[in-house]
Each structure stands twice: as C-alpha cells, then as structure tokens.
Amino acid sequence: MRPSKEGNLIKKLIPHPIKRVLMRLANPMRKSALFAAVSDARRFKRHSQLSASLSSLPASAAQADLLRKMHSLEKGLALPDPAPGFGAAKARDLIQLAESYRGRHDEDWHFRTCVGVLQEYAAFQARYGHLIPELDAFLAKHASPEPGGTITVGRINKAGHETFDFGAFARSRHSVRNFAPQPVDEALILEAIDIARKTPSVCNRSSGRVYLTMDRSHIDAALDIQGGARGFSQTVPCLLIVASDVSAFYKVGERNQSFIDGGLFAMTLVYALHGLGLAACMLNWSKTPSQDKKLRKVFRIENTHNIIMMVAVGHMPEQVRVALSPRAGIESFYQRLETQEGV
C-alpha cells in the first residue's frame, strides 16, 4: 500500500530524533522487551513495599521489614567498636514497627526475635549510661528467650572444617537429567530447605521461598510450561519452584534484589541437595510475562512471589551420563580492577 499524502506530511512534520525512537519502538523485539520491562516494573511497584504504608504492610512484608530493621541494630553491635548511643532512632523505629506487627500478627517468632535483639541492644546502651525511655518501656512489657543480637564465633567455628573440601564438593556437582525411578523422601527436601535458610540475603530479609511437589500431574504440567526439561521430565520425581518474595523490598534501587537473593537461595538449596546425596537440575524461568501468568493460572503461587527458577530433584542412578559443560580458563572469569584514566 502506498503511503497517503497525509501520512507523508505527518512523517515530514515529526522531528527526526522522535521518528527514530518511534521506529525503534515499532521493532517487535524491542516492543516485547519494553513490555516485559514495564510489566516487571509494575510487579515491583505493586508487590514491593513501595506503595505500602506501615499499617497496610502484608505479614510477609512486615516480617522482612522487622528483619531488616533488627539487622541494622545487630550489625551495629557486631562492629569492632560500636559507638555508645548508636542507633537510637532506628531502635525507636523498630519498636513502633514491632508494636504495630504485634497488634496484627501476635507475638510470633519474628516479634520475639525482635525483642531478643532489643534486649541485647538495651544492655549495650545501659553499659554506657544511654537510656532510651521508649526502649525501657517496651522491654518492661515484653521479654523474649529468643536469641537476638550477636553471638561470638571462634576461628574453629568459622573455618574448622579441615576435613571438608569445598572445592571437591562443588566440582562434584553436575546437573543431572536422568533420575533413578525411586521416589524422594520429603524429609530430605525439607532438610535441604532448612539448610538454604542460611543463605545470605540483603539485610537478612530472607525472601527465598520454595514450592514443592512430588505429584506426577503437577510435575508434568509445570515442566510442560517450563519447557527446558524436554526429554527427561518423565524421570523427575520431585519438582521445586524457587521463588523470592518481592514484598521484602522497599525502594527502587532494590528492583532486582529479589532475583539476586532468590538466585543465591537457589544455589544453596542445590548444594544442600547435593550434600544430602540427591541429584538436581536447575531449570530456567526465563519467561515472558504471559508465560509467567500461565503458570500462575495453573498453580497457586502468591502474587508477591517472583519465580526464580524450577529445580528438578531425584536420586542419582548408579551411573549417569551428564553434560560436561566445560568452563573457560580462570583468566576469562576475572580481571584486576583499575581506575578510569584521569581518576
């Protein structure tokens, strides 16, 4: 079809830089990348704490917030030379959050741990004669046997695993794509999740979550949507969907944090499975927003949970052929950090 006169006129009237941007946006690849980015941003805006007030925080967000704020105090207590009087505003803020949390969610583990941190914080400040009236009033009402604050670890605790060779352990893990027919004991999976709780996370907010199934029809349906286990999905006896709760995050700079924390959590989980003698294969969730929606239509996955990946889990066959997946030499993995010229 030939462009109309009016069409030509409009084209002439649009300044060149704007025309270039419009043409770029018309490119289908760019359009779908932009759509996905906007959809991700909307998910973050809707489900993180960006648009929530203290009184409307869902339990998961309030718990992450409690962890973040108590971590600020416990971290301060763990510094080489904590300044007497430090963190008073943060302590007041934590007390306010804890009281509001208690009103809505009772004195659960999160609340009690918060009291535990405040107890050690108060003892530290008292040693230097710093009194925070709100803190004393709060602790007069609440006492907790839950440990919180700091612990002392010796060198032996930190690196005393002389008999454990992490290099050999890590090098002995392979993605397995052919599992033995025997079922997996759920207790082993729970133990692996228990270990994965120790994964570092930003301000200890612990956003990693796991959906677990051994149900054949669930596994088949999930792997059908995932698509990366074709050819071996029928051998998978247990499937994990690893997620990260985006309500643990509260500012724009954290827009990718759930993927980082969730990825670290998944790695610990897979190492834990390996340590427990199980075989696993991580399965990507490199999906478009509509594919992500498709999974959420079939399975009940919380809206605040970003899906990080799936993990196929099973027992090792006596012998199994695995992909070599060779890695390039160490020189391609690092370089010395240098300043820019003129800096």
Other beta carbons less than 10 A from residue 75's beta carbon: 14
Restricting to residues 212-231, which ones interact with ligand FMN according to CB under 6 A? 228-229
291 binds ligand FMN (CB under 6 A): no
Stretch that binds ligand FMN, among 29-37, 74-82, 170-178, 201-209 (CB under 6 A): 170-178
Which one, 14 or 320, has the nearer CB to ligand FMN? 320
Restricting to residues 269-288, which ones interact with ligand FMN according to CB under 6 A? 281-284
Do residues 25 and 34 make contact, with C-beta atoms less than 8 angstroms apart?
A: yes
Q: What is the phi-psi region of residue 284: left when phi exceeds 0, alpha when psi lies from -120 to 50, beta otherwise?
A: beta
242 binds ligand FMN (CB under 6 A): no
Reference 305, options 253, 258, 264, 250; nearest CA is 258
Restricting to residues 124-163, which ones interact with ligand FMN according to CB under 6 A? none
Q: Report the SS3 class of residue 80.
A: coil
Report CA Rg, the chain.
25
Do residues 235 and 178 make contact, with C-beta atoms less than 8 angstroms apart?
A: yes
Q: How far is the CB of 301 from ligand FMN (least distance, A)?
A: 18
Q: Of 100, 175, 213, 291, which one interacts with ligand FMN (CB under 6 A)? A: 175
Which one, 100 or 235, has the nearer CB to ligand FMN? 235
Q: How far is the CB of 39 from ligand FMN (least distance, A)?
A: 20
Which residues on neighbouring strands pair with residue 211, listed in sequence order?
241
Q: For the chain, how are helix, strand and coil distributed in percent, rounded to 5?
A: 55, 10, 35
Interface size with ligand FMN, residues (CB under 6 A):
13
> Which phi and psi angles does 239 have, rounded to 5°?
-125, 135
313 binds ligand FMN (CB under 6 A): no
174 binds ligand FMN (CB under 6 A): yes
CA pair distance 139, 284, nearest whole angstrom: 47
CA pair distance 51, 126, nearest whole angstrom: 37
Q: How far is the CB of 35 from ligand FMN (least distance, A)?
A: 22
Q: Number of helices (H) and strands (E), helices first, in the chain?
A: 13, 4
Nearest residue to the partner ligand FMN, using Cβ: 228
Which one, 174 or 255, has the nearer CB to ligand FMN? 174
69 binds ligand FMN (CB under 6 A): no
309 binds ligand FMN (CB under 6 A): yes
Which one, 27 or 284, has the nearer CB to ligand FMN? 284
> Which phi and psi angles does 201 have, rounded to 5°?
-150, 155
177 binds ligand FMN (CB under 6 A): yes
Residues lying near ligand FMN in the complex (CB under 6 A) are found at 174-175, 177, 228-229, 281-284, 309, 322-323, 325
